[in-house]
Structure 1
Amino acid sequence: MDTKQYIGSGILEDYILGMVSDQEKREVECLSKIYPEIASYLAEIEDELAEAVLENGVTPPMDLKSKILDNLPERDDDEEDVRETPIISLVDTRPEEKKEEPVKRKFPYGIAASFAVIIALGTGYLSSRNRVGALTEELIQTQTRATLANQRYEALEESNAQLAAEFDMVSNPKTMKIELGAVNDDLAQSVQGAPVIVFWNPESQEVMLNDIALPRAPEGSQYQLWTLEGGQPINRGMLSLEEKSGLQKMISANAADAFAITLEPRGGSESPTLEQLMVLGKVES
């Protein structure tokens, strides 16, 4: 390993200032035990940091010592550069005369003088970032719940509007109620105990159908509604294949002598299959 290049990278200064990741911290601590020059360089940085703090007249908080010590690598007893005295003393016991020493490297003394502030700001930043992340996640969840609630509300509004339209139509005095019954006894057994009902308003030409009495259409088949006008069948639409409750809106009819439902291939037929005539109901004049 090129220790000179590693030392020159600046990671050791960042380590002392507590500005490295957990992985980088473990890396520095491991390498300082393997390479004496790295451990020695760390000790020199600690000396300069202590001098910078004292020279700038910054009194560290009471817990600064423990924070710095927590960030220092563990040292073996046999290492030459190990010192038993604390790294930073809160009382300056040095002689008043200043000793001139050669400058070994450029070190960020301004940052060192504000070391306690950096720690506080870094801690506050991490705490704020975690809080922002939690708030962002909470906001996303709230927005998701609001979107789902809005979708349910819109579906309910649509359902209520449909029910209101159906009620207005069937309660209109001009709306006719035509009951469609099975055309023979065999078919009567397959119709589930109640007639199929068509609601038709000749004035508005609206046609609605209640087909819940019909059995499920066989696979590949579908029910089709017809009107008979002068003996001619006219398509009024296919019954839905989905299970549902309520009324189904069909194709409008301006005239009708009778309504009928046949069983046709899925998608419908151009003319009714009379052999598959299920129910029929005449319009009372």
Structure 2
Amino acid sequence: MNIKDYIASGILEALVLGDLTASEEQEVRAMIDQYPELKVELSNIEQDFEHLAQATASKPTISFDDILGGIYKDNIPTASSGLDQPKLEEKTDDFDKKYYISRISRYRTMAMAASFAALVASALALNYYNSAQESKGALAALESERQEYAQNYDMVKQRLNGLESDLEVIDNPSSQRIILGGTESAPDALAYAYWDNSSDDLYLSIQNLKELADNQQYQLWAIIDGKPVDAGVFDWNADGLVKMKTFSQGVELFAVTIEPRGGSEGPSLETMQVAGAPGSKS
């Protein structure tokens, strides 16, 4: 099973939102127990929605309609008049692209909600200030809350920018995608390398690599003239594209091994997880 494709389907988000039937939920949880990568992704989704819920939580002292009325007066926007979620049109069957498009859509929605929450908090602070009905302490608390909403928005926006940057690399016509398939010691392992023909930048996308101990890291090697050259280390749970070292030409093979944290001078060949040969570089 392709883990990225399963995540991109949105079924984990549906699980968190409670949109699955009992049998569907049982099936999804069985998959989560089987694949540690799904458990990590589910935890990330739950944290994302928890942050979103905290950022958009309403206060009992003032109704949501009162807040909207104070901001927009007689022109309260509806779902059909400007608050529609942005939709991304998928034009590819590539699993990696679908995964990033799915996550970008989710973070764009979260960014809109966090931004709106910050706007609501600002309106509340202004309302209390103008009416002078609350103490300075209450006003300070509202200002602190507004700053927290702004920080949540910045966090979501930063993740969104990272995902969009990754998608640009994947969708770049100059990028050569190299499939790094599993070896005899790890037949189900999989990773993609993206090598830019014009900038020589090299990125790695983890598809299915096993969890490592805290004192271990994965290390990417470039085989040049039959000799392994260090291309950088990364953690097993690295999210998104991982920027590796730059190579211009002459690479015969890319391979990933398990090494002590910080990397090794030479590869431990018996721990090789994935390997793949690039095409000719123009």
**TM-score, with structure 1 as normaliser:** 0.48
Which one has a bigger Cα radius of gyration? 1
